[in-house]
Amino acid sequence: MSLDGSRKKGKKYLNVIPTDEAGFGKIVPILREYMNNKTENNPKKTIGPFKTDTTVYQTPPASGLRITWIGHSSILIEVDGKRILTDPVWGDRASFSKFMGPKRFFEPPLLLSELPPLDAVIISHDHYDHFDKDTIKYFAGSTIPFYCSIGVGQYLRKWGIIENYITEMDWGDSIMIGNDMVITAAPARHFSGRGVVNRNETLWSSFVMKGPKHNIYFGADSGWSPSFADIGEAFGPFDLTMLEVGAYGKYWPDIHMGPDHASNAHLALKGKLMMPIHYGTFNLAPHAWYEPIERLTTLAKDKNIDLFVPEPGKPTEVTGEYNSNWWKPYL
C-alpha cells in the first residue's frame, strides 16, 4: 500500500479531509476564552534547568535507538547508526518576534554547538514553534542534509542552507540516508503559513523513519485523521510513535489532537511505544501546561498503551515502557 500525494486548490494545499483551521472567524471567541482562562497556562515554578550529558553521544546506543527530547517537537533521534534532528527550535519564543509571543518554559538542555554530528534535519512545516529562523541560521553553510515539506525550502535557502542539501518532499516521497535508512513523508491534518497572507502555500507532513532494525514515526502537528490508519497499514507496526499531545482547544479540534485523539492515533498506527511531544514547552493553548501529559498517563492505562516519556535533555535508550515523570516536581 502506498500513500497518495498532496492536493492543491489554486495555491493552497488541502488536507485529506475537510478541516476547520480556526481562522479569523474564531479570533473573538478564542481571545475571550484566553481572557477568561483561570488555568495554569504557564508554570508557577521555574522548570529546569536541564543539562544534557553530551559525553553519552560518544557511545552508540546499545539498543540501536536513543532519544534526546530537546522540548516541544525538537528531538535528537539516534536510530540504527543515524542521527536525525526534528523541527529544531532553540529560540526563546515561538514567534515572529524576539520580544513577544509564547516564551519557552525551560532553556534548551544543550547548546546547538554541543550537538553531535548529524545525518539529517527534518522540518515538518513552517510554523514558528517548529521552524525557528535563528536556529536554522546556525546550520548555514553546513553539509547536513535538510528534508522538508514542499515549499519550506524557500526559507532554508534564504537563511543560508546550501541548495544541494535541501530536499523538499511530498506525501509518499521517500529518500535514503546512507544505504539502509529510508525516510518517507506522510500526510498530516494541519495547515501552514508564517504570516496572514501565505496560509497553506507550503505543505505540512509527518515522517516515517525505517532502518534495518527500527521503524519509527514522527507525527509533528496533526489533528485526528483517517490517514493514521492508512500509514499504519502501509508502514506499521512502529517501534515508537512520536505524537503531539499539547496545544489543543475547543475552537480548533481539527488541527491538534490532544491526548485523547493522539492515543487513538498511536493505536491506529500500530505503535508499540508512544512518546508524547508538543507539550510542556510553550503556552500555545488555554489548557494547563501539565494537563496533556497528566491526561495521557491516565488514558494510557485505560487503553493499555505503553508510554515512553523521557526527561528533557536526557539521552534515553528506547528499550520498553518508561516514564520519567519529569514534570511532577513542578506541579
Task: Say what the pTM is.
Answer: 0.96
Q: Which residues of the chain have pLDDT under 70?
A: 1-2, 23-28, 30-31, 34
Cis bond upstream, residue 315 (ω within 30): no
How far apart, in whole angstroms, are the C-alpha atoms of residue 284 and residue 267?
26
How far apart, in whole angstroms, are the C-alpha atoms of residue 89 and residue 71?
8
Cα angle vertex 76, ends 128, 118, to 5°? 100
What pLDDT is stored for residue 36 in this prediction? 75
Q: CB-side exposure of 174: number of CA atoms within 13 Å? A: 14
Residues 6+ apart with CB under 8 A from 257: 222, 223, 224, 243, 244, 245, 248, 265
Nearest CA among 64, 112, 66 for reference residue 90: 112
CB distance 118 to 147 below 8 Å: no
**Residues in a beta bridge with 167:** 147
Give me the helices (H) in 159-247, please: 227-235
Nearest CA among 5, 3, 8, 4 for reference residue 200: 8
What pLDDT is stored for residue 195 in this prediction? 83
